[in-house]
Amino acid sequence: MSLAERLMDSSLMRRNNALRSFTVAAWLGWQIESNWADPFLFAIYSIARPVASVMILVVMYSVITNGALDQPIFAYVYLGNALYILVGQVITGVSWVVIDDREHYRVAKQLFTMPMNHALYLLGRGVARLLIGTISLIIVVGFGMIVYKIPISAATIDWPVFLASMALGITTLAALGLILGALTMMMARHFWVLGEAVAGALYLFCGAIFPLETLPAWLRVVGFAFPVTYWLEVTRRALLGPDAVGFPTLVWLSDKQLLLILVGSALLMVIGSMSFYRWAVYRAKDKGILDMETSY
Amino acid sequence: MLEGQIEQPFDVGSIEMAQQKGSELVMQPSLSIQTQNVGRIYKLHGPKKKDDAKEVIALKNVNLEVHHGELFGLLGPNGAGKTTLIKVLATLLLPTSGTASVTGYDVVKDVKQIRRAISMVSGGETSGYGLLTVEENLWMFARFYGLDTDTARRRIEMMLDVVGLTDRQRSKISDLSTGLRQKMNFVRGFISDPNVVFLDEPTLGLDVGAAREVRGFVKDWMREHPDRTILLTTHYMAEADELCDRVAIIDQGQVLACDTPENLKKRLRHEPIFTLKVGPLGPKPSHDGRIEAVPGVRQVRVDDVDGHVTLNLTLAAEDALSNVLAHISGRGSKLISLEKNEPTLEDVFVDMVGRSLTVDTSQHGGGQDE
Amino acid sequence: MNDEGRVRKATGFRLFWITLWARAYPRIVGTTREKSWIFFDTLLPVMGTTAYIFLYRALNAPPDYVGFVVVGGAMTAFWINVLWSMASQLYWDKDAGNLELYVLSPGPLMAILAGMSVGGLVMTGARAAAILTVCSLLFNVTYQINSLPMLVLVFVITMAALYGMGMVLASIFLATGREAWHLSNLLQEPIYLASGFYFPIKAMGFWVATAASILPLTLGLDAIRQLLFAAGPSLGFLSVKAELAILSVLAVVFIAGAYVSLYKMEEIGRRQGRLIERRR
């Protein structure tokens, strides 16, 4: 019996429904995500995609600035883009499970007849993608430090702020993933992935690669209402240290204030996502589409 | 169902060599389906690549001859190799050894010609596109077979009427129940007017009434044209008995017998079969004290039902019955009822294989995915 | 054999043609049945494309670069379509139990893939047009079309090569593994980078641009930009004519490659007994 199996067989797991749903789903998610015929391909997958997305930005930046990658603002842009990898991975990781279980493995019916917490099951299934995203993030940041001299050092990182911000950010993203998962329950399987599409669209509003001031005033509102904006800002500050030159958008907020906003928004998102998810399950059952199979 | 990845250990080259070395299949024009020493081996891998592959023999030296106009049944438990054989004949799978032909064409080489003439329907199939209606899905498949739209629509309407699906013609298939979807699949199999149809457990998931309609349709379809052939696999003995002109009993990849249902049953007919309902038989005796050991008892199946025991007995001769009655009395039990039975295909199967048809033999090296 | 009263069936090219349209049908009609794509398939990509436009604006880039991103953003629709609804589609079809029936039917697999392409093109064309129109209006993109017939020709040849590549990928994905989804994921952004969706491919340097030219969208996009924008020719990688010639070769190679790879895929499937039938 492996360690994971032993852990899942412990009496605590057997007693605690929520914990069991989450951990078994996380284990299952990892089995599925890592079940590649070729581990080399799996490693490439974890690196190639994020590095490519960062390189698009680097090329765009250097085409216009004639390769002036040593400007302090570049580190901000680079890190914003790198951290954004987690947005796509976490929200897709959680929401895609609905399609995967419903239309690929066709176990939606069975899952909903099991005594478990389905919302936590979805979140658990997303853990594998979070891990892959984290590995990608570390690789991309490491790549930036070596190749583009992004000024990050372990000594200057504000660790408490960084860790708090990551925890809150990931919680917020998981909740957003759950909302999209709930939405997916009522949608057909399309050729694009909802999580990816939403992550791509929200890229516009969160100040990841350009300051919100560049947007028209009416669009900026969306950015200010989107918790990821604050998460990216405070995480970049924690990583780059006090001397970092950032975007002007949120300079009037201290790290503490940013963290407080994140706590509030994470709480709201968690409560909101759970309620929305419950409503979506009810609605899907009402319409009889919980286990529908759609294709065209 | 066998787990893990499946891989075939030989390449096409070795198959061709096997065909050249082995006796060439002599095509007989009167035959719709012909197999000669057909074998199929799968390689099963464990979850990890480095795990040693396990060879599973799905088919072994299968020899069959099915005539034009014949409704031929393949009977066997799960994992016997029925689906594998159908896949070989339907050109979806290459045989590892031996040769086979459908409508006179070789299943390895003459794929195009065979596909024009055949069709396949499997029980529990989930094919089609959920967002399309029943009519649209059927139309799409009809077009893949080269039917013009008018003919396709006419046939769809006619066949939906036959299976009682007309009122669901414009329903999206994602809204159909399992049974209705199976009816639609059934229609799909016949819409292209094939010469040979492979029906793999076609009534799986259908209720009694729908299964009866399907059987009725199959019989009518066969009557309509003398060239048509159906190869049917089924678990349901009564279905095979009712429909099939001839039946092959297949187990662990091998054909054990092939004849008309009547002739197969005749093999047992000289041995009387009785069903006895008796009171509880008391504690289990030693080996020598069991009913099987009673002189004249060839086979026995014992079922405990609601406080009494049912004994299905195949005897060497009728007078052995008195020995059995004495045995029952000796064990402190009483006879409640006695009935003499005509043998069924199930009895034939049990007689040949030594176990009931409901026992899954896939782990013993039978076929896959059944 | 007595054929009286039997159904007449098309063969040869006619069978190819009707199979193609039969498979394209679900693609086209499916979009009218489930309308959530209108929001997710047009608005969200517009927003994604817009992010890159604002980056250029924040960097004070010349106005034609905005146009470059708009055209690149519109063309991403085709790449996503090829990846997600061509390359992975045979895998999904296997999963649904359709692939087995496709293989079994006399309708050529090549026609079925071509049908998917045509259906996908119709659908994706609408999405690309939406991105192009909305973004052009929002950001006042100025086009200066040098030769409309040439533009149409480049687009058509690019699509032929691109969807030909999609057909090749469909067989490869099916043969490579169970998680075609991962492979699609793997290729999405690297191709955005290599094909220069958001910047002129010339910026990647001669050798990288040459290597990336194996991807039909690299040269297709470059040629289209040269034909659409005033600054296009000066930022172009090769001449439009040279790019069109290479694209034509790519189209032939990919379509022929698709034929060969489909044949191989079917052969392996029949030999191993696992490629065609559904396993989960």
pLDDT of residue B156: 94
In a shared domain, residues B210 and B251: yes
pLDDT tens column, B74-114: 988 888 899 899 999 999 889 999 999 999 999 999 999 99
Q: Which chains pack against A, by 3+ Cβ pairs within 8 A? A: B, C
C118 contacts C30 by C-beta, under 8 angstroms: no
Q: Which chains pack against B, by 3+ Cβ pairs within 8 A? A: A, C
Q: Give the span between the Cα atoms of C57 and C258, in whole angstroms.
A: 42
Decide if B365 is inside a domain: no
**Of the candidates B229, B248, B265, which is a domain's last residue?**
B265
C contact test, residue of B44, B103, B127 with most C CBs within 10 A: B127
Q: In angstroms, how far is CA A149 from the centroid of its own chain?
A: 26
pLDDT of residue C210: 94
Taking an 8 Å cut-off on Cβ atoms, the answer to whether C98 and B127 are in contact is yes
pLDDT tens column, A18-74: 888 888 888 888 888 776 556 777 777 777 888 888 899 899 999 888 888 888 889
Q: Give the span between the Cα atoms of A126 and C202, in whole angstroms.
A: 39
Tokens of A110: 């069975």
pLDDT of residue A191: 62
Q: Please give the C-alpha separations between residue A112 and each of A59, A106, A115, A185, in angstroms, as whole numbers.
A: 47, 12, 8, 13
The span from the first CA to the last CA of chain C, in angstroms, equals 42
Q: How many CA atoms lie within 13 A of A253 on its CB side?
A: 20
> Helix, strand, coil proportions of chain A in percent (round to 5)?
75, 0, 25
pLDDT of residue B199: 93
Residue of chain C with shortest Cα separation from A204: C51
Q: Which of residues 288-327 of B touch C (CB under 8 A)?
A: none
Question: In this structure, what DSSP letter does residue B234 have?
Answer: E
Taking an 8 Å cut-off on Cβ atoms, the answer to whether A62 and C203 are in contact is yes
- Sign of the torsion formed by the C-alpha atoms of B349, B353, B355 and B357: negative
CA proximity to B193, closest of B145, B150, B231: B145
| High-pLDDT (> 70) share of chain A, % | 91
Domain boundaries defined on chain A: 17-287
CA proximity to C72, closest of C213, C234, C222: C222
- Tell me, yes or no, if C274 comes closer than 8 A to chain B by beta carbon: yes
pLDDT of residue C183: 73
- Phi and psi at residue C88, to the nearest 5°: -90, -5
Considering only CB atoms, B144 lies closest to which of C107, C270, C271, namely C107
Taking an 8 Å cut-off on Cβ atoms, the answer to whether C61 and A204 are in contact is no
In a shared domain, residues B227 and B337: no
pLDDT of residue B66: 95
Decide if B246 is inside a domain: yes
Q: What is the mean pLDDT of chain C?
A: 86
The span from the first CA to the last CA of chain B, in angstroms, equals 6
| Helices first, then strands: H and E counts in chain B | 11, 15
Kindly report which listed range (A188-202, B119-133, C118-132) carries the lowest average pLDDT score.
A188-202
Residue B128 backbone class (left: φ over 0; alpha: ψ -120 to 50; beta: rest): left
In a shared domain, residues B203 and B339: no
- Tell me, yes or no, if C176 comes closer than 8 A to chain B by beta carbon: no
Report the CATH number that the domain containing residue B201 is assigned in CATH: 3.40.50.300
Over residues B234-248, mean pLDDT: 87
Chain B, chain C: beta-carbon pairs less than 8 Å apart: 131
Q: Which amino acid, residue B9?
A: P
Mark B274-299 as b/e (b = at least 16 C-beta within 10 Å): bebebeebeeeeeeeebbeebebbbb
Statement: residue A181 has pLDDT above 90: yes
CA proximity to C72, closest of C60, C86, C55, C88: C55
CA of B229 vs chain A CAs: smallest distance (Å): 33
Q: Which chains pack against C, by 3+ Cβ pairs within 8 A? A: A, B
Taking an 8 Å cut-off on Cβ atoms, the answer to whether A209 and C56 are in contact is no
Q: Residue A71, Cβ neighbours under 10 Å: how many?
A: 12
Categorize the per-residue pLDDT at B366 as very low, low, confident or very high, splitting at 50, 70 and 90.
very low
Taking an 8 Å cut-off on Cβ atoms, the answer to whether C30 and A197 are in contact is no
- Tell me, yes or no, if B30 comes closer than 8 A to chain C by beta carbon: no
In a shared domain, residues B123 and B204: yes
C220 contacts C161 by C-beta, under 8 angstroms: yes
Alpha helices, H only, A100-193: 108-112, 118-125, 127-147, 159-184
Q: Residue A67, Cβ neighbours under 10 Å: how many?
A: 10
pLDDT of residue B230: 96
Taking an 8 Å cut-off on Cβ atoms, the answer to whether C190 and A37 are in contact is no
Report the CATH number that the domain containing residue B336 is assigned in CATH: 3.30.70.1340
Residues of A whose CB is below 8 A from B127? none
Residues of C whose CB is below 8 A from A103? 95
CA of A27 vs chain C CAs: smallest distance (Å): 18
In a shared domain, residues B173 and B275: no
Categorize the per-residue pLDDT at C153 as very low, low, confident or very high, splitting at 50, 70 and 90.
very high
Over residues A189-204, mean pLDDT: 79
Pairing of strands B335-341, B273-278: antiparallel
Bridge partners of B233, per DSSP, are: B74, B200
Bridge partners of B261, per DSSP, are: none
Taking an 8 Å cut-off on Cβ atoms, the answer to whether A188 and B126 are in contact is no
pLDDT of residue C277: 60
Decide if B361 is inside a domain: no
Higher pLDDT, A39 or A164: A164
Residues of A whose CB is below 8 A from C96? 293, 295
pLDDT of residue B19: 41
Q: Which of residues 19-58 of C touch B (CB under 8 A)?
A: 19, 21-23, 25-26, 29-30, 33-34
Q: Give the span between the Cα atoms of B215 and B239, in whole angstroms.
A: 8
pTM for the model: 0.76
Residue of chain B with shortest Cα separation from C12: B146
Q: Which amino acid, residue B144?
A: F
Taking an 8 Å cut-off on Cβ atoms, the answer to whether C6 and B226 are in contact is no
Q: Give the DSSP H/E element, type plus range, for residue C109.
A: helix C109-138
Over residues B258-274, mean pLDDT: 83
- Tell me, yes or no, if A218 comes closer than 8 A to chain C by beta carbon: no
Q: Residue C16, Cβ neighbours under 10 Å: how many?
A: 18
Q: Give the span between the Cα atoms of B188 and B163, in whole angstroms.
A: 12
Tokens of B300: 């026995």
Residues of B whose CB is below 8 A from A37? 49
Higher pLDDT, B54 or B269: B54
In a shared domain, residues B274 and B163: no
Residue of chain C with shortest Cα separation from A53: C189
Decide if B175 is inside a domain: yes
Q: How many CA atoms lie within 13 A of C183 on its CB side?
A: 24
Residues of B whose CB is below 8 A from C9? 116, 145-147, 192-193
- Phi and psi at residue A273, to the nearest 5°: -65, -40
Q: Give the span between the Cα atoms of A106 and C250, in whole angstroms.
A: 39
Q: What ipTM was estimated for this complex?
A: 0.83
In a shared domain, residues B131 and B39: yes
Number of domains in chain B: 2
Range of the domain at B312: 266-353
Residues of A whose CB is below 8 A from B131? 188, 294-296
| Helices first, then strands: H and E counts in chain C | 13, 0
Taking an 8 Å cut-off on Cβ atoms, the answer to whether B130 and A37 are in contact is no
- Tell me, yes or no, if B143 comes closer than 8 A to chain C by beta carbon: yes
In a shared domain, residues B224 and B270: no
Categorize the per-residue pLDDT at B269 as very low, low, confident or very high, splitting at 50, 70 and 90.
low
Over residues C26-49, mean pLDDT: 77
A234 contacts A161 by C-beta, under 8 angstroms: yes
Decide if B32 is inside a domain: yes
Statement: residue B326 has pLDDT above 70: yes
Q: Give the span between the Cα atoms of B135 and B140, in whole angstroms.
A: 9
Categorize the per-residue pLDDT at C39 as very low, low, confident or very high, splitting at 50, 70 and 90.
confident
Taking an 8 Å cut-off on Cβ atoms, the answer to whether C199 and A296 are in contact is no
Q: Is B256 helix (H, G, I), strand (E, B) or coil?
A: strand
Q: What is the mean pLDDT of chain B?
A: 82
In a shared domain, residues B221 and B322: no
Categorize the per-residue pLDDT at B137 as very low, low, confident or very high, splitting at 50, 70 and 90.
very high
B187 contacts B159 by C-beta, under 8 angstroms: yes
pLDDT of residue B33: 95
Statement: residue C249 has pLDDT above 90: yes
Bridge partners of A162, per DSSP, are: none
Kindly report which listed range (B165-174, C12-21, C206-215, C222-231) carries the lowest average pLDDT score.
B165-174
Q: Give the span between the Cα atoms of C237 and C202, in whole angstroms.
A: 5
Over residues A216-240, mean pLDDT: 93
CA of C34 vs chain B CAs: smallest distance (Å): 8
Considering only CB atoms, B132 lies closest to which of C26, C107, C270, namely C26
pLDDT tens column, A67-96: 888 888 899 899 999 999 999 999 998 988
Q: Residue A248, Cβ neighbours under 10 Å: how many?
A: 10
In a shared domain, residues B260 and B271: no
| Residues in Cβ contact with C124 at an 8 Å cutoff, skipping those fewer than 6 apart | C77, C78, C80, C81
B contact test, residue of C25, C104, C179, C280 with most B CBs within 10 A: C104
- Tell me, yes or no, if A187 comes closer than 8 A to chain C by beta carbon: yes
Q: Please give the C-alpha separations between residue A247 and each of A59, A210, A211, A252, C157, in angstroms, as whole numbers.
A: 20, 8, 5, 11, 44
Statement: residue B3 has pLDDT above 50: no
- Tell me, yes or no, if C16 comes closer than 8 A to chain A by beta carbon: no
Q: Give the span between the Cα atoms of A277 and B194, in whole angstroms.
A: 49
CA proximity to A170, closest of A265, A292, A47: A265
pLDDT of residue B9: 35
